[in-house]
Amino acid sequence: MSRASQEVRRQLDRIVALGYPDVADMSAEAFRALADPLVSALEAEDLGADILLVPTRELVSPESLIARTSIDRMAGFTTMPPRDIIGFVPQDGFEPPEGPFYLVVGPHTGTAYVNREPDVARKLIDSDERLPLTLEEGLAVVTQHPQWLVDRNGFNLLGSRSADGRVPSIWMSQGAPRLGAVWPNSRHTWLGNAYCGSRRGVSLFV
């Protein structure tokens, strides 16, 4: 068993325990089975443990997931209506690979890009040959690594954007993770701009 497959199994156990199968309206066994092809692919190609398992919005809707994050037993929350959250969609070039699950390789909250306007940070991330995280990927970060939000910083998710130009963000508020949004020309001293090295789906291992 490779380190990558072990890490994916660990992350899968976590989201099953948090009730993701209920969000997907299926049994835990059926939910786990959807990840089997990805886990099997990782047995032949070890990416290491610096990876993130991300379910696509076709499997679990993002508006249902912030409440399943927590820090010190304080549940995550948002004041945005579900229609707003659904409206944050991946931008061209940042669409997820096919399949109910995929991997983000080398996720980071983007401390190098703290206190940068989203549009400026996007150019810097591009020039550094990194990829901005999407809404779904940011939720996966806080689900699997909640302490990153405490130890590092809140972060913008520049890979997603709404029709009115806003980008989703996650930060600490009232001792809990909060999902909100910022305008592309706004600057916040406490927000980084999250990124990764690559995205990998099952089809990219063959």
Q: Residue 37: name the closest of 102, 106, 95, 94 by CA.
A: 102
Kind of pairing between the strands at 191-193 and 154-156: parallel
**Sign for the pseudo-dihedral over CA of 111, 64, 161, 137:** positive
Q: Are 80 and 34 in contact (CB under 8 A)?
A: no
Give the pLDDT of residue 38. Answer: 94
Give the pLDDT of residue 204. Answer: 58
Report, as ranges of residue numbers, the positions in the chain whose pLDDT lies below 50: 206
What's the distance, CA 200 to chain centroid? 14
Give the predicted TM-score (pTM) of the model: 0.96
Residue 175's region, left for phi above 0, alpha for psi from -120 to 50, else beta, is left
Q: What is the dihedral of CA 1, 202, 21, 87, to 10 degrees?
A: 140
Domain ranges in the chain are: 3-205
- Please state, in angstroms and rounded to a whole number, the distance separating the CA atoms of residues 12 and 124: 32
